[in-house]
Structures are given as C-alpha cells and as structure tokens.
Copies of this chain bind each other. A is one copy, B any other.
Amino acid sequence: MSVQERKQRERAERERLIVATARELAEQQGWDAVTTRRLAERIEYSQPVLYSHFRGKREIIGAVALEGATEMAVAVRAAASRASSPRERVAALARSYLDFAARNPAVYDALFQLDGGLAFAHEDTPEPLKDAFAALLESLGEVAGDGVHPGLFTEVFWASLHGLATLTRAGRLPPEDIEPRVELLVDRLAVV
C-alpha cells in the first residue's frame, strides 16, 4: 500500500507544480505565453503529462482560478476584519479587492476574464467561488439598506468593483484616482 500512496502523493505534488507553474508563467508573461509546450518544458515533463492531470488548457486555467478565489476570499475577509465600522469595512473590502486584482492580474483574468470551464451562479458552482462571493456578502450585506436584497446589492457592488478593476488594468481608465473612485463608490452605494 505504501508504494501506491507514495505514487499518489507524487502525482498530487506534480499537479500542484503544474498549476503553480502555469500561474507563475501567466503572471510573468501573460496567459498568451502559457502554452502547453512551454508549461511542459518548465515542469520538465513532456506535453502529454499535462493531459493526464487536466482535460486541457482551460482546466488548468480553471485550477488557477479556484486557487485565486480561495486567496481572494482570505484577503477580503482579513481586510474586512481589521475595520471597525460598517462603512470602513466596505471601504477596506473594496480596496483589498482592487488590490488583489492589481497584484494578481493573471489570476484575476483566470477567474473572471478567461474561460476556465467553471460554472458560476449555479448549484454546481465550485466551493471556492461560492465562498469568495460569500466573503463579499458578509460585509456588503449589512450595508444593503432597507428593502434591498443583500444578494442583489452584493452583485451590484461586486460588478462595480469588477468594472473598475478590469477597465483600470486594461488601460481604459487612468490608473490614478483609484482612491477617490473607491470613496465615491462606497459613499454612494453603501447605506450606513
């Protein structure tokens, strides 16, 4: 049994290596540079090995996305927990969200821009994604205001953050003025 267990362990380790390498390469040179050939070379295995772990490139993107979702949930909760008032909590959440997107552009792309083959807003949505949304909901739900469904409010606030994140990073919005944009968004949207 021990032999099989070791093999399983090594196999799982190699899978982590693939995901970590894909992420690293994507952050360094963009997802376009993450080709199966380059990825295989970096992990020092041949291409077909990738396909023994994942159905294809999109599943690798999906794996990076799930990893990112978990980290984002952690970051957002940590930022929220450091704030004392609901107003400050929402502002801290917004800043940490945009900060995460700016610091991990490739991961953010994997999550929300690229096709990682993940289901969203369904019952079969992977747990990390649901949890990331839950992390937003925890802080945003309390400032939805009377008569506004917390889930709906969270969707709208999240969409606003997502818009700011993507438009800024794509050069569609000037990168300065991030802070006043966050202030405006929080002041207007959140009911405190």
Contact = CB atoms under 8 A, between A and B. Distances in A.
A148 B112 contact: no
Nearest to A189: B188
Given A121-B171, A152-B180, A152-B184, A166 B166 contact: yes
Interface residues of A, number: 31
Contacts of A153: 184
B156 A184 contact: yes
Task: Count the copies.
Answer: 2
Interface string A110-132: 00110000011100000000000
Secondary structure call for the A interface: helix
A181 interface: yes
Nearest to A167: B159
A113 B171 CA distance: 11
A162 B167 contact: yes
A112 B168 CA distance: 11
A156 B181 contact: yes
B121 A170 contact: no
B167 A185 contact: no
A22 to B, nearest CB: 20
A166 B155 contact: no
Interface of A: 112-113, 119-121, 148, 152-153, 155-156, 158-164, 166-167, 170-174, 177, 180-181, 184-185, 188-189
